[in-house]
Amino acid sequence: MKIKYDEFTQDVSVRITKKYSTSFSLGILSLSKHIRPDIYAIYGFVRLADEIVDSFHGFDKAQMLADLKAETIKAIDQKISINPIINSFQKAVNTYQIDWSLIETFMHSMEMDLEDMTYDSELYKEYIMGSAEVVGLMCLKVFVHGDEQMYNDLKSYAQVLGSAFQKVNFLRDLKDDYQILGRTYFPNINMEEFNHTVKLDIEKEIHDEFQQALIGIKKLPKSSKFGVYLAYVYYLSLFKKIQNTSHQEIINKRIRIHNGKKFSLMFKSYMLCKMQWV
């Protein structure tokens, strides 16, 4: 029966999430059980696309990304794929009627990573919209259980949270993006001239987005509030560590939050939610 195959493909998405992200794995585990599979499926799909452009050096990345897109379209239409990750993803897409335009926008940002680009303000916004904001919107579709009014009310908050997460990633990965992949996402910045003032300007932008996103997190259904808040707390903790790190250091090393700290944050976040302070 196909149900066994669907369970297998779901397990693949779970394994990918746990392999690549402790923070998101713990966040998803903190969601209500009935929505976890679909969030794992979304993360597994976007992780696969990201790996194609970031890691599969020596292969035809453009063709692989095009194949992924074509197979995804086919899978959503036919409601099955022999690629486990895509099968898991199409199931979530069809269950929650996730609009193709969100997936298309995401894939466009992945295609942007295949090019040597100099980002101005408009391209920067375009990339963040596709690589992060629409992923937040896909997850929001799951969180609101098809409630279109709630989706529209929370849409802007989901986007700003995704944007904040992505910009923290940009700062965290500054060394690898610049030195290994040859990318600089922040607009109109010469990395040879990256300094404390530039870093402060970027951090101000992220700080404002975190504050705005928290308003929306408090309005989420109980089934998703704690999990999303936990991811928010993890990223906020990482952001604060970056703020306390010099601009010279973040260019030369990747900033991390150790797992012990993450579990401590998880307990504190649970208590705050339990006491309805969030």
Q: CA–CA distance from 170 to each of 39, 128, 275 (Å)?
A: 23, 10, 34
Return d(Cα 131, Cα 229) in angstroms, integer.
20
pLDDT tens digits along 56-95: 999 999 999 999 999 999 999 999 999 999 999 999 999 9
pLDDT grade, residue 37 (50/70/90)?
very high
What is the DSSP code string of 187-224? TT--GGG--HHHHHHHHHHHHHHHHHHHHHHTTS-HHH
Question: 2-274: which CATH number, 2.40.50.140, 3.40.30.10, 3.40.50.300, 1.10.600.10?
Answer: 1.10.600.10
pLDDT at 263: 65
Q: What is the pLDDT of residues 127-179, one digit of tens each?
A: 999 999 999 999 999 999 989 999 999 999 999 999 999 999 988 888 777 76
Q: How many whole angstroms separate alpha carbon 216 and alpha carbon 166?
A: 17
Distance CA 93, CA 87 (A): 10
Q: Output DSSP code: residue 50.
A: H
Q: Which pLDDT score is estimated for 264? A: 73
Using only the alpha carbons of the chain, give its radius of gyration.
18
Q: What is the pTM of this model?
A: 0.91
How many angstroms separate the Cα of 90 from the Cα of each of 43, 173, 177, 213, 240?
Answer: 12, 30, 30, 28, 36
Rounded CA separation 261/56 (Å):
32
- Residue 267's pLDDT is 62
Q: How many whole angstroms separate alpha carbon 225 and alpha carbon 72?
A: 29
> Which region among 41-50, 181-190, 220-229 has the lowest average model confidence (pLDDT)?
181-190
Who contacts 230 (Cβ-Cβ below 8 Å, separation ≥6)?
26, 27, 30, 265, 266, 269, 270
Which residue did the predictor score with more confidence, 43 or 116? 43
- Separation of alpha carbons 171 and 247, rounded Å: 10
Inter-residue contact 160 to 228 (CB < 8 Å): no
Beta carbons within 10 angstroms of residue 133's beta carbon? 24
DSSP conformation class of 34: G
